[in-house]
Amino acid sequence: MKPRPYWNPYAAGLLLGLVLLATFYVTGQGLGASAFAKRVVAMGTHRVAPAWTERNPALGHYVEGGANPLRNWLVIEVIGVFMGGFIGALSAGRLRATVERGPRISRRGRLWLAFSGGAVMGVAAGLARGCTSGQALTGGALLATGSWAFMMMVFAGGYAGAWFVRRQWT
C-alpha cells in the first residue's frame, strides 16, 4: 500500500500548537519527552544503588521522599505520544519495520549513528533540563528566556554537525 502523503507542515503545526495550548490550559505546564528516559533511569538506578541515586544531582529529585519516579504526568504523556505515533503511522499506511538511511551508508553505520546521537541527546537533555519538547517547544511558546537560547543553540549544533554526517542521508 502506498503511504498517504504527509500533512502540510502548517496544518501539522497548527494541530501541534493546539495540543500544546490545551496542555497549558489543562495542566498548567507543557509537554515533554526526555523526562521519560530520566525517570526510567532513576527508577533503575534506585533499585540497584538507592543511596547513589538519591545523592545524584541529576536523578536524586525523581526519587526524593521515596516517590515512584514513574508516577508522573509526563511519563504517561510519552506513552500517549507512542500511541499517537503508532495510530498515525498505521492509519496512513506508514507502519513498517525499516532502517531509514541514504544509499551511501550501511545499515550498521546508520544504527551506530542513531545510538550515539541518542546518547549525546541524553547527556544534552540532562544538562539543559529538557529537550526540543520541554525546552524549545514548551519554553519557546511561553517566551522563557533560557528556552529561546536553547532553541537557537539546537539549530546551531545541527548545522555545525550536518557536514560531518551528510553521507548518512543522501
Partner 1 sequence: MMAILFPLDMLGEQANLLTAIVLGFGFGFALERAGFGSPRKLAAQFYLYDMSVFKVMFTAILVAMVGFYAGTAFGWVDFGRMWIVPTFIWAQLVGGFLLGVGFIMSGLCPGTSVVSLASGRIDGAVAFIGGFAGTFLFALLMDWFPGLQRLYDGGSLGASVLPAVLRVPGPWLALGVVVLAGLAFAGVEKLERRFQRGVAGEFAPSDSSGTEVPARPVSAAAARGRWSLVGALALVAILAGLVPVSHPPVPSAEVAAIEPSRLADALIAGEPNLMLIDMRNDAGGSIPGAVRPAPGMAAATLVESAAPGAEVVLFDADGTLTQLPGEWPRGPRYRVLRGGYRGWEQEVLTPKPLAGAPPGELAELQRQHGIASFFSGTKIEPQKGTPPPPAALPGGASKPKKAGGC
Q: Using CB under 8 A, which residues numbered 75 to 94 contact partner 1?
A: 76-89, 92-94
Is 101 among the residues that bind partner 1 (CB under 8 A)? Answer: yes
Is 19 among the residues that bind partner 1 (CB under 8 A)? Answer: yes
132 with 154: CB under 8 angstroms? yes
Distance CA 33, CA 63 (A): 19
Among 22, 50, 68, 106, binds partner 1 (CB under 8 A): 22
In one letter, which amino acid is 113? L
Q: Please give the residues from 48 up to 67 whose contact with partner 1 meets the rule CB under 8 A.
A: 52, 55-62, 64-65, 67
Among 50, 68, 95, 167, binds partner 1 (CB under 8 A): 95
Distance CA 66, CA 163 (A): 46
The nearest distance, CB 139 to partner 1, in angstroms, is: 4
The nearest distance, CB 112 to partner 1, in angstroms, is: 9
Is 18 among the residues that bind partner 1 (CB under 8 A)? Answer: yes
**What are 16's three cell numbers?**
501541534
Is 37 among the residues that bind partner 1 (CB under 8 A)? Answer: yes
What residue ranges in 31-73 does DSSP mark as E strands?
none
Distance CA 122, CA 54 (A): 20
CB-count exposure of residue 56 (10 Å: 0-12, 13-18, 19+): middle
Distance CA 42, CA 36 (A): 10
Considering the complex, state which of residue 47 and residue 65 has its C-beta at the smaller distance from partner 1: 65
150 with 128: CB under 8 angstroms? yes
Among 68, 70, 73, 167, binds partner 1 (CB under 8 A): 73
Considering the complex, state which of residue 50 and residue 73 has its C-beta at the smaller distance from partner 1: 73
Is 24 among the residues that bind partner 1 (CB under 8 A)? Answer: yes
